[in-house]
Amino acid sequence: MIFEKMPAEEPTCREWTAELVECARRAGRERQPGRELRMHLAACERCSERWDAELLLTSHLSAMRNRTAAFRAREGRGAVLMRDFARMHKVRMIRGWGMALGAAAALVLAVVVGHMAGEAQRKPVHHARQQPSFYESGGDVLSTDASALSSDDFVAVPYTPPLAQGEMVRVVHAELYPEALASMGVEVDPAYTDRLPADVVVGEDGLPRAVRITENSSSF
Amino acid sequence: MQPSDEELYRLMKKGNQDAFARLYERREPALYRFALHMSGSPTVAEEVSHEVFVQLMGPSTRFDETKGSLESFLYGIARNLVRVVRRLGPVAEPVDRAVHHDILGDLIGNETTAMLHRTLRDMPERYRDVVILCDLEERSYEEVAKLIGRPVGTVRSRLHRARALLAARLKRLNAPQEVGAR
């Protein structure tokens, strides 16, 4: 029922509007209104008014476009940008080289430190080997139990660094010369010159922490 | 064959100043005009078109070729910068350019055209964008759709709506003259 009350030309005008606007936008150029549109414009006052308004708008927009087409930023702005670009990339290049050199230096430093740390770790072992008869005796690992240190038989080796929290120890069975035992704080009859069987508590760094003479040599 | 914007951008990022210069020459004039029409101020347009390229060459540029063209990216920066400037309020023009009201209008010369430009400048951004790009920069609907990241149909309908608003304004502007003429 509602359709009967609507003006008959309403849908037609709406359909023509898009075509009308597109033709007006390109007025005098690649698009001209077709015969049907021209007939509709001749018949419909509202569309004809819109057509005139669109043409007028197109002419003003065209004037605006032509007037501003040559507008550009001042000449110097581009030169400033190019200078900034060159400076920025120079800084970036220098920074890049700096970072590369820094990384190389850090790498070298890490290698040197690693090497020194390795040396430091190896040194105590080497030192222990130099101690007479400690490793020369071909010691066997008897235990890795840290509680061995609390055993009453063990004598703490003086002047050795304390064990770190959670540091593992080994109890090594060895045959030591009396001088070696003396250097670890165990008194041995100086008249005795043979090697004596002993258990040595060794830290992770290879240094002896405690020593005890085993039972079969207790008479000394 | 001309290298694409994206190719020039890649070269530029490696420090090729010639590529940057070519990109600037290719895109700066249109960006300047876009900012000029959007803001109505040559000073703002100059700053915006400059800043677009400053941002482009900066280390924090987040242009992603998979998400759109470089041109669209540049227009996006320009649009955002104009938006920021407009939010801050009127910009003081240099003394040599200072006039009382619409500097671009004066540059345009014709009074009705200048008034129309003021109307355009005060329109909602979604309409202003399409009029500037489609009718002032003469870009196709497809190109504008890519630049603003909207479907072609949306661009067309926005332009038709914008033109209807401008045409109505133009009619009102001409009406007193017609009455006076009679």
**ipTM summary value:** 0.80
Cα(A27)–Cα(A19) distance, integer angstroms? 12
Mean predicted lDDT score pLDDT of chain A: 74
Mean predicted lDDT score pLDDT of chain B: 84
Q: pTM (2 decimals)?
A: 0.60
Q: Which of B116, B132, B173 to mutate to test the interface with A (most CBs of A within 10 A)?
A: B116
**How confident is the model at residue B152, as a pLDDT?**
95
Nearest chain A residue to B14 by CA: give it.
A89
| B24/A78 touch (CB, cutoff 8 Å), yes or no | yes
Chain B nearest C-alpha distance from A88 (Å): 8
pLDDT digits 0-9 by tens, A156-188: 888 777 777 777 888 888 888 888 888 888 877
**How confident is the model at residue A3, as a pLDDT?**
47
Which chain B residues are closer than 8 Å to A72 by Cβ? 28-29, 32
pLDDT digits 0-9 by tens, A84-125: 888 887 766 667 767 777 788 888 888 888 888 877 766 554
Using left for φ > 0, alpha for ψ between -120 and 50, and beta otherwise, residue A157 falls in beta
pLDDT greater than 50 at residue B6: yes
Give residue B142's pLDDT band: very low, low, confident or very high (50, 70, 90).
very high
What is the average pLDDT across A184-212?
Answer: 83
